[in-house]
Structure 1
Amino acid sequence: MALTVTEVEELRNYLIGVMERADHHAGNVHEIALALMGAMIWRKDEDQDIRVMTRDGQAKNVLWVVINSQRYALVYNHSTGAIDMREDGIQGNTLKSFTNATPLSDVRQFFASL
């Protein structure tokens, strides 16, 4: 199930949860998560909402965004400790992985190329 993010406060609440989980379990992505959120808002299709995966009423570490009519999933990869951007959905091809070591210029360049 997915929650559609239509209000800034909903997105803020999701981001608070992501940051809390990252601080406890995924310290190598807690900084880049902020940059990715901004990049998604910047590049998302105007007529499309950001969608957040939920399970049992709780937001999870997956969200979807549509950029230039293409759907992408951002997924926390527990094996690599990175946030993967995948084509189409959770099981899609990983286009890029992000950690706190990823330069912000790489984030901008990657999202600009979509």
Structure 2
Amino acid sequence: MARQLLTNVEIDDFIAKVIREANHHAPNVGAVITPLSNAVRARLNLATDKVEVYERNGQLARTCWVTIGGRRYVFTYNYGSGQIDLKAGTLQGAIRSSFDNSTQASTITHQAARL
């Protein structure tokens, strides 16, 4: 089930949780989460767009769906590659880009601008 995050505070809390968990379980992406979040949030209008996160047994997981301009995307951790995948639409959607700590800021900005 997905829970919609309605405020910047809710989004900040979610991002902080993701960073804490990445630093423990997925250090290869811990440093890219903040710049990626900032780039996506620069495109986000909470009055019309949506941020939803996967919720399991009342606990927020790390999978995040973002709807911008009516188009839905999903950010999820790929355990095989050790990267964050940006997919079109659903968890089974086509991978549009992948990110890890070596991803250049210009790449992050470019991919976020395409949302």
TM-score, normalization: structure 2? 0.92
The count of aligned residue pairs is: 114
Query: Hey, what's the Cα distance between the residues in 2 that align with 1:34 and 1:72?
Result: 18
Residue 20 of structure 1 corresponds to 20
Superposed, 1:22-101 pairs within 5 Å as: 22-45=22-45, 46-101=47-102
Query: Hey, what's the Cα distance between the residues in 2 that align with 1:34 and 1:42?
Result: 12
Farther-moved stretch of structure 1 (50-59 vs 40-49) = 40-49
TM-score, normalization: structure 1? 0.92
Query: Hey, what's the Cα distance between the residues in 2 that align with 1:78 and 1:16?
Result: 20
Q: Match for 1:69: what amino acid?
A: G
Are 2:9 and 1:9 equivalent residues in the alignment? yes
Deviation at 1:40, TM superposition (A): 1.6
Query: Hey, what's the Cα distance between the residues in 1 that align with 2:37 and 2:54?
Result: 15
Q: Which contiguous aligned blocks of 4+ residues in structure 1 show a shift greater than 4 angstroms?
A: none
Deviation at 1:113, TM superposition (A): 2.6
Deviation at 1:75, TM superposition (A): 0.5
Query: Hey, what's the Cα distance between the residues in 1 that align with 2:71 and 2:95?
Result: 14
Contact kept, 8 Å, 2:49 with 2:69, in 1: the verdict is: no
Deviation at 1:53, TM superposition (A): 0.8
Contact kept, 8 Å, 2:78 with 2:85, in 1: the verdict is: yes
Superposed CA deviations along residues 59-96 of structure 1, whole A, max 9, x for unmatched, are: 11111111232100000111111000000011111110
Are 2:106 and 1:105 equivalent residues in the alignment? yes
Query: Hey, what's the Cα distance between the residues in 1 that align with 2:82 and 2:9?
Result: 27
Farther-moved stretch of structure 1 (34-43 vs 92-101) = 34-43
